[in-house]
Amino acid sequence: MLRFKRFLYEALDIGRQKLAGSGDTGKRHIAKYIAPHYNAAEPTHTLATKHGDIPAGAQVTVHDTFQNEKGKYHATVTHNGKVTNVPISKIHKPITSYSYNDEHAFKELWNHGVMHGSVKSVDKLREEIQKARTDKKHPLHFDNVGTGGFQGGKKTEQHKEAYYSELHDAVDSIASAANRKDFKKAVAEKHLAKVMGGERGEITEHWKKHGATGQGAVSKADVAIGKEGEEHNGILMSMKKGGGSQLASPAPAEAHAMHNWAAKTMLDEHPMYAKLNDREKKKISDDIHNKFSSIRDIMENARTQTRDEKKKGVTEANKLMDELHGTYPHLNEHLRREAMTGHGKFGEGSAHAASHILVGGQGKNAASIRHVRDVDHSGSRAFISLGKLGKETDPLVMRLLS
C-alpha cells in the first residue's frame, strides 16, 4: 500500500510540500515529518530538488538530523546504499506520517482561545500550547482531546508531536481570523468552531442539470464558527494549504457543472462580459458548454480504456482545455472560486458553501483569511489527469491546485 501511495503522488505530483529548513518551524517539521521515520525498513521520503548526484524525486531513507553552523537543518540520508547529508528544505514531506488534521487543530485551539480570552493574541495562544505540553489537566493536553483528526482515526504516542505541531501551525491563522471585523461578534459572544468533516449537503438544480447527481455532496466549508449548536448559521470557512495542494479533483460530470457555473458567473460579473446583451452571452455560454462536452466525453471514455489509452486521452483532453481556456482566459478564476466556495454546487448562503477562505501560513508567509468576495481567485489553470490509478473503470479527472 505504501508503494502504491508513493507511486500515486509521484505520478500526479500533487499535494506535496517541502519541509522548512530552519527556525522553530523547521524544528517542528523534523519532529512531525522526519523523526517518526528514522531508519525505516524502506525509503519514506523523496527529494523535492536535485542534491549532488541524487536526482529530484529520488527516494531516500532518513537516519538522523542536525543543525549546521549557519542554523540550517540537514538530514543524513541513504540513497542507493550511499550516505549523504541533505538540507531538509530539499525534502518533501512524507506521504504517510503520524499526522493530525489542521481543521481539528483549528477547532481545538479556537474553542480554547475564545473561551479563555486568548484567541486574538499569537503570544497567548503559544503560551497555552506550551502549558498544555506539561499540564495533564490542561484542556489542550494531548491526553484530553478525542480521536477525531488523527490519522487512522486513532490516537497513539507517535501522534503526539504531530498534534502539538499542528496546534502551533494554527496559531497565526486563528489570531488573523479573530482580529478581523467580521469575526468581532464571534469573538465577543464566544462562538465555537465545529469541523464539518464529511458532512453532505443537497446540491443545486444547476448541478443536477449537468449530470452531477447523487445523494448530496461533501461540504465545501471545512470549519464552521457560530453559536453552540448553530455553527452552520455562522462563519463557514474553507481551509486551504498553499504550495500546490489540491483544491478540487472532480470527475467528468462535476467538472462539466463547474465549467458551466464558472461561465455563468464570468458572464454576469466580469467587466469584459457583463456589458454584453443576452444573445451574445448565450452564444459564449453555449460555446463553453459544447467545448467542455468534448472534453467530458474523453474523460468518460477512459472508463473502458487501457492505461496507455488513458494517457493518450489525457494529452488530447488537455489540448482541448488549452484551447478552451485560451479562448476564455478569465474562465479559470471563476472555476477556482467555485472550487473554493461551492456556491454553484450548494447555493450561496447554504450551510455547506464557504463564506470565508483561509490559507494557512506562518512567519513570512503569514496566514490569510478573506471573505470570498475579497479573495483573489487567480492561479494555476485547471488540467485533466489520470484518476485514482487503481481501477481500470476510473474516468479521467480535472484537477485544480492552490
Beta strands 235-240 and 356-359, pairing class: parallel
| Per-residue model confidence as pLDDT tens for the chain (402 residues) | 333 343 333 333 334 467 888 888 888 888 878 887 777 766 778 888 889 888 887 888 888 888 888 889 998 888 877 888 999 989 887 755 577 888 899 999 999 999 999 999 999 999 999 999 999 999 999 999 998 888 767 788 878 888 998 899 889 889 989 998 989 999 999 999 998 866 677 888 888 887 666 555 667 778 889 988 877 778 888 887 655 566 788 889 889 999 999 999 999 999 999 999 999 999 999 999 999 999 999 999 999 998 889 889 999 999 999 999 999 999 999 999 998 888 888 887 777 888 888 876 544 445 678 887 787 788 889 999 887 654 667 889 898 877
Strands (E), 230-347: 235-240, 246-248
Cα distance between residue 163 and residue 161, in whole Å: 5
Q: Are 46 and 60 in contact (CB under 8 A)?
A: yes
Domain range list for the chain: 2-90, 102-205+214-239, 246-401
CA distance 268 to 343: 14
Per-position DSSP letters for 186-221, written without gaps between them? HHHTTPEEEE-TT-EEPPPHHHHHTT--SS-EE-S-
The pLDDT value recorded for residue 352 is 81
